Structure 1
Amino acid sequence: MGTQRDRVRFNVGGKLFETTATTLANAGRNSLFGAMFDENWNLRVAETGEYFIDRNPKCFSVLLDLLRTGELHIPANVPEKLLYREAQYYGLIDHVQAAKRGEFDGNRLRLAGSTTGRAPGDGTAIRASPDGGCCVAHGSMVHVYDWMLEEHPSINLDYQRVNDIGWIDSENIVITACERLGRVDGGMGLFSSSNGDLRYKFDVSHEGQTKSFTAGALSFSNDDKIFASCKGRTHEYGIGVWDQITGKQVDFFYESPGWSLGDADRLQWLNGTNCLLVATLFPRKDNCSISLLDFREKRMVWSWSDIGAPVTVDEKRVRDAIAMEDTSSICVVNEYEDLGFMDLRSSIGSVRWSSRSRLMKGKMSDEPCYPKLALHGGQLFSSMNDSISVFCGPDWVLTSRLRRSYGGSICDFSIGGERLFALHSEENVFDTWETPISLVA
């Protein structure tokens, strides 16, 4: 908007404020203040010379100071929840979040708090939302939390176990389960994160007929596609593809003899190669397999299996896998927290194991919580027992470890919205880790 510095006056709940167009422009196009500018960022001044807003003046003062300085200072007499509600009204939630949390860094994460679940069964999966909230699966229940970690109405699948969950955006959650999704036939549906309502279900069709199916692992592409492992009674074994906007099936990759696509434990879409990683891991299957599927050519372009591996394979069972496109490799982890690497450029699928990153002696505990992997911001994360390890650099050197022993072993963790969430198995408690703003250079 150039150097324009027109003064702007607001009457907010009876209290007068004066600022400049430059300050208001810091709010961005998608804010309430952004609507006051034309397409060239020229301020459209009210005819009266004053804008009246019937909102809380104390919160407005805090938010206006945030736009001026980029810093958030909340007075003791302003409840945080009230401020967040007002920030939502003005379209400034992103600004508040950025001011409260530093840029994500696994080596600087600090425990921000813990939330105790209310479900009778053990937690099985946790997924971070794009804005820093999360959802937690407990058996047939999914508990949803917004970025303020306030719980929304839970989603009940009527005794059907949740297999996987994923966020389309901060308002929509995809859930996979068995053939009946609550009272609806079909193993996959889109739900509202705010009220838990089922918005639509995803069908699998074969030769013009709608089939019952169980949906498992999920993945999302950058062109609004949803991928899910599927298995049914006849032909619907493989990987289904849907348009996440319309909910319509757009493709299906059927299993061939020797493949285990319908039982996949992890799916990961690779934007750079337009391929899908499909991993079927121990203990779901006695033999682990990892494949890359090219949906454009309908063929498998790379694969690995531990069939025929050395006698010591029991010590090297692959528990999780993740593709790293920057290095054209796949990282795997075993029950001893050894990291292994496979070169995607090689046609010979072999694992190069490395134990130098291991701090713990002996294998995982007797609890059924297997190691999980995540890649975020150029850092690699691996859970093991009650801690999460952080690896950095070209050689993936262990640089820090996050640990909070209360609640038992970590059964799952997820990163999103500048937060890391870790779900413990025993007490249905999940921890929230953040990078404090004071630690950011």
Structure 2
Amino acid sequence: MEEGTSQDTTGSRRSDRIKLNVGGKLFETTLSTIQSGGSDSLLAALSNRGPADHEPVFIDRDPEIFSVLLSLLRTNRLPSTARRFSKQELAEEALYYGIDAQLKSAMSPPPFVGIDASIVSTIRPASEGLPSTFTAAADDGSVWIAHGGQISSYDWNLIHAVTIRTHLDDINSVSRVWPEIAAVGSESDAGLHFYDFSGSRHVGSVHWIDSSDPRIFKARVNAITGSTNSVFASFYCPHRENCILEVDKSTLQIVTQLGRQSGNQAKNMVPGKLTWIPETGVVVGSAITSGAFGYSGYIRIWDPRSGEVVWETNEPGAGRSSRFGDSFSDVDVEVEGLTLFKLCSKSGDLAMADMRQLGDDPWIYLQEKNPSLASTGGGGNSVIHCYRGQVFVGREGNLEVWSRREDVKNEVDWQNGESVDLCRRNFVDKKEDSERGIVKKIEGGGDRLFVSREDVEGIEVWESSHSSGVISVL
């Protein structure tokens, strides 16, 4: 009886093994290992052979890369030998075997922490290397880069997927409205245009027209944002008339018109930045201009359901700022936290406002207690981007991040409109990074931060190291 049991166990162990001949090299592993790639993978399918078939399964592929992928299935990590191959080589082989999800998990960067981020690569499109704008996917860190009249798509692995040549000369705004479709606006061509990356084709256009008003012609797009069902785009005409159009995603038809105005004054300029707030269903828009007398502009919140403005502030001159005369040079929204942020043009101070408690003067100014890190003044030529509870600020060539202090309790005392030990400010970049050029745009996607600089080719890719610790953020 014991002998029979022993034989059954041995047979069971043998039946759990499988031999693979990959490109002439023999591999032996367990069925559980190759089935860990998922039931739909090629390897799992090859494991479903009859028990009498003991010949190695032949696969006409590269054995060296297969060795890397087999190690990935065993440990859920890539071995050091993976460095011998390019990301594209690994991605192509993983896709062939049907284990691309496992490779993506192993190759994806760790959770993004701004204070521990560094440049890992620079994406340079093959032609027209100076990017005019870009947009990143929040879920996987893929990115679409506009350069000249073209848009190049790079996947989660930052491998070039496709380049679309549009009918536009210059692209100044691009937004991902579906996984494979971009909404595009141009400085030199009228209309909002939609392009499908999967088919590399133009799928439609939307124009702002008004037969009763001859001033409404050749309306161009300045900013784009999207909700689940709609696309919002700010249009402006040569005579400076402007508005925001809501466009239905499924039909590409105009649903409603918001905030029509004549932009002869700063408080009536076309919005240069739009943000959709899913939790409240409103659109936040801002417009900023600078001249001999400094910066001026507005922040305005529209409710598309009523078509009305539900809150606004104009700087300077509206009396809605406790620092009168120090108007903002850039604005952004922390969507998850329902928080507005602005950067003051003269002092360089960063201020925040809770969107749930907006009033005449909702701003709280963040303080930096460390004298060596305190702002030396001047917020001009600066940009803000809120991502994953962190606020990134590009000042000239410097890149910094504001995050919540680890040792501060949730209940924070506020005094005289200034935060007390709430946040800390850190430089993200090194000196050599800041000398690359003036930061023009910052955008987060997945666990990456993308940065473009004035007159510098390509888009910088920033990632945190795997040793980065978890911190509490805004």
- TM-score by length of structure 1 reads 0.78
**Which of the residues 289, 308, 314 maps onto 2:317?**
308
Corresponding residue for residue 66 of structure 2: 60
User: Residues 401, 35 of structure 1: CA spacing in aligned structure 2 closer, same or farther, 3 A cutoff?
Assistant: same
Q: How do residues 36-435 of structure 1 correspond to structure 2 at under 5 angstroms?
A: 45-46=48-49, 53-75=59-81, 78-100=85-107, 101-115=109-123, 123-129=131-137, 130-151=139-160, 154-157=163-166, 160-168=169-177, 171-178=180-187, 180=189, 186-192=191-197, 197-204=200-207, 213-221=219-227, 223-232=228-237, 237-244=242-249, 246=250, 248-249=252-253, 251-257=255-261, 263-283=270-290, 287-309=296-318, 316-325=326-335, 327-335=337-345, 336-344=347-355, 345-356=357-368, 359-363=374-378, 370-393=381-404, 395-403=422-430, 404-435=433-464
User: Residues 52, 122 of structure 1: CA spacing in aligned structure 2 closer, same or farther, 3 A cutoff?
Assistant: closer
Q: State how far apart, in whole Å, the 1-side matches of 2:159 and 2:336 are.
A: 37
Q: State how far apart, in whole Å, the 2-side matches of 1:138 and 1:119 are.
A: 8
Q: Are the counterparts in 1 of residues 241 and 260 from structure 2 also a CA contact under 8 Å?
A: no
Single out whichever of 256-265 and 79-88 deviates more from structure 2.
Answer: 256-265
Q: State how far apart, in whole Å, the 2-side matches of 1:325 and 1:399 are.
A: 22
Q: How do residues 16-35 of structure 1 correspond to structure 2 at under 5 angstroms?
A: 17=27, 19=29, 22-24=32-34, 26-27=36-37, 32=41
Q: Which amino acid aligns with 1:356?
A: E
Q: State how far apart, in whole Å, the 2-side matches of 1:334 and 1:108 are.
A: 26
Per-residue CA distance 1:100-144 (angstroms, 9 max, x = gap)? 322221122122133456766854433334533433344545444
Per-residue CA distance 1:218-256 (angstroms, 9 max, x = gap)? 2122x2432221234799942223344x45125223324
Q: Which amino acid aligns with 1:330?
A: L
Single out whichever of 381-390 and 12-21 deviates more from structure 2.
Answer: 12-21
Q: State how far apart, in whole Å, the 1-side matches of 2:322 and 2:301 are.
A: 26
Q: Are the counterparts in 2 of residues 179 and 187 from structure 1 also a CA contact under 8 Å?
A: no
User: Residues 261, 87 of structure 1: CA spacing in aligned structure 2 closer, same or farther, 3 A cutoff?
Assistant: farther
Q: Are the counterparts in 2 of residues 7 and 18 from structure 1 also a CA contact under 8 Å?
A: no
Q: Which amino acid aligns with 2:340?
A: I
Q: Are the counterparts in 1 of residues 353 and 363 from structure 2 also a CA contact under 8 Å?
A: yes
Q: Are the counterparts in 2 of residues 324 and 331 from structure 1 also a CA contact under 8 Å?
A: yes
User: Residues 18, 154 of structure 1: CA spacing in aligned structure 2 closer, same or farther, 3 A cutoff?
Assistant: same
Per-residue CA distance 1:287-324 (angstroms, 9 max, x = gap)? 42112222223322222222524699786232222223
Q: State how far apart, in whole Å, the 2-side matches of 1:131 and 1:160 are.
A: 29
Q: Which amino acid aligns with 1:266?
A: K
User: Residues 18, 320 of structure 1: CA spacing in aligned structure 2 closer, same or farther, 3 A cutoff?
Assistant: farther
Please list every run of 5 or more consecutive structure 1 residues that lacks an aligned counterpart in the other structure: 37-42
- TM-score by length of structure 2 reads 0.73
User: Residues 52, 218 of structure 1: CA spacing in aligned structure 2 closer, same or farther, 3 A cutoff?
Assistant: farther
Q: State how far apart, in whole Å, the 2-side matches of 1:155 and 1:20 are.
A: 45
Q: Which amino acid aligns with 2:395?
A: M
Single out whichever of 376-385 and 6-15 deviates more from structure 2.
Answer: 6-15
Q: Which amino acid aligns with 2:88?
A: K
Q: State how far apart, in whole Å, the 2-side matches of 1:20 and 1:168 are.
A: 44
Q: Which amino acid aligns with 2:288?
A: L
Q: State how far apart, in whole Å, the 2-side matches of 1:55 and 1:170 are.
A: 31
Single out whichever of 412-421 and 169-178 deviates more from structure 2.
Answer: 169-178
Q: State how far apart, in whole Å, the 2-side matches of 1:46 and 1:67 are.
A: 20
Q: Are the counterparts in 1 of residues 246 and 255 from structure 2 also a CA contact under 8 Å?
A: yes
Corresponding residue for residue 40 of structure 1: none
Aligned length in residues:
419
Per-residue CA distance 1:7-28 (angstroms, 9 max, x = gap)? 4745544555555565456545
Q: Which amino acid aligns with 1:128?
A: A
User: Residues 189, 171 of structure 1: CA spacing in aligned structure 2 closer, same or farther, 3 A cutoff?
Assistant: closer
Please list every run of 5 or more consecutive structure 2 residues that lacks an aligned counterpart in the other structure: 1-12, 405-409, 411-421
Q: Which amino acid aligns with 1:126?
A: F
Q: State how far apart, in whole Å, the 2-side matches of 1:268 and 1:218 are.
A: 8
User: Residues 205, 332 of structure 1: CA spacing in aligned structure 2 closer, same or farther, 3 A cutoff?
Assistant: closer
Q: Are the counterparts in 2 of residues 279 and 291 from structure 1 also a CA contact under 8 Å?
A: yes
Q: State how far apart, in whole Å, the 1-side matches of 2:31 and 2:285 are.
A: 51
Q: Are the counterparts in 2 of residues 238 and 262 from structure 1 also a CA contact under 8 Å?
A: no
User: Residues 53, 187 of structure 1: CA spacing in aligned structure 2 closer, same or farther, 3 A cutoff?
Assistant: same
Q: Which amino acid aligns with 1:268?
A: T
Q: Which amino acid aligns with 2:439?
A: I
- What is the root-mean-square deviation in Å for CA atoms of aligned residues? 4.1
Report SS of the residue matched to 1:388.
strand
Report SS of the residue matched to 2:429.
strand
**Which of the residues 413, 437, 441 maps onto 2:466?**
437
Q: Are the counterparts in 2 of residues 341 and 352 from structure 1 also a CA contact under 8 Å?
A: yes
Single out whichever of 19-28 and 381-390 deviates more from structure 2.
Answer: 19-28
Q: What is the deviation of 1:189?
A: 2.3
User: Residues 283, 381 of structure 1: CA spacing in aligned structure 2 closer, same or farther, 3 A cutoff?
Assistant: same
Q: State how far apart, in whole Å, the 2-side matches of 1:270 and 1:35 are.
A: 43
